[in-house]
Amino acid sequence: MDPFPPMRLPSRPGATIKRIYLCRHGETAANYKRLLQGKGIDLPLNDRGTVQARSLAERLRNEKVDFIGTSHLKRAKQTAQIIHQHHPRAAWLENEDLAEISWGSWDGTDTSEIETLIQKWDRGDFEAAAPQGESPFAVEIRSVSLLYDLIYSRSENNLVFVLHGRLLRIILSSLLNRNLSKMDSFRHHNCNINILDIEILDTPSSSSPLSLSPSSKNLAIQVLACILDDCSHLTDFLL
């Protein structure tokens, strides 16, 4: 299997480049049954999900990885731990702000009502949410804000994040489009890899590192290159 392309060089003097790997967790029983699996569902990987995670870890074995971040949910944490076995010196972060969107009372169901919700999102209503659930806008605020803070504050330049399907769509749309209008255009196979080479153009105020919104922080970075939904390490059985 061919290695990933080398990290891009800065486009201007003094800029910093960081490579961000955004990966989805392995399969769970809820994934297999095609049930909604949000922040309120905390299932471990199933057997196929474990094999997927091992394939993902093998794909990243020869990459430079010096930081691994994950949500607190078992499916993401177990996937990240398998990657960490190949990179035992990598810094480790587990944070609830990297958890999946909450589907509220729909969590664990196969309700068809989600189609109506997605239609609202397609019309640009990103504050719409499932009953007792989270909106994409709320998820963007908690997750993308944390992601930017880590990109700016961490000394490491090669950061792996093991995340969730809807969360990845929100993050990728926010980073690449500076809004959420394209989130449903991004695919998210279990244990896929998205790679972003990010150039940091500016540094947020050290006196208030959390004060910038995701949209304003976007103006301080530039994505120089990206690879989306790479599944070359997964056989047809694992897709």
Interatomic CA distance for residues 44 and 42, integer angstroms:
7
The identity of residue 217, as a single letter, is K
| 24 known member of a binding site | yes
CB 52 within 8 A of CB 27: yes
| 29 known member of a binding site | yes
| 31 known member of a binding site | yes
Reduced to 3 states, what is the DSSP secondary structure of residue 161? strand
Residues in the chain: 239
| 27 known member of a binding site | yes
| 134 known member of a binding site | no
| 75 known member of a binding site | yes
Buried b vs exposed e over 191-223: b needs ≥16 C-beta within 10 Å? bbbbbbbbbbeeebeeeeeeebebeebbebbbe
| 169 known member of a binding site | no
Catalytic positions are 25, 100
Token representation of residue 217: 């922080």
| 138 known member of a binding site | no
Interatomic CA distance for residues 180 and 59, integer angstroms:
29
Q: Which backbone phi and psi does 222 adopt, to 5 degrees? A: -140, 130
Spell out the long-range contacts of 152-157 with Cβ–Cβ below 8 A and sequence spacing 24 or more.
152/200, 152/203, 152/204, 152/209, 153/209, 154/67, 154/91, 156/18, 156/66, 156/67, 156/90, 156/91, 157/7, 157/16, 157/17, 157/18, 157/19, 157/66
Of 126, 75, 68, the C-alpha closest to 100 is 75
The identity of residue 168, as a single letter, is L
Binding residues: 24-31, 75
Binding residues for substrate: 24-31, 75
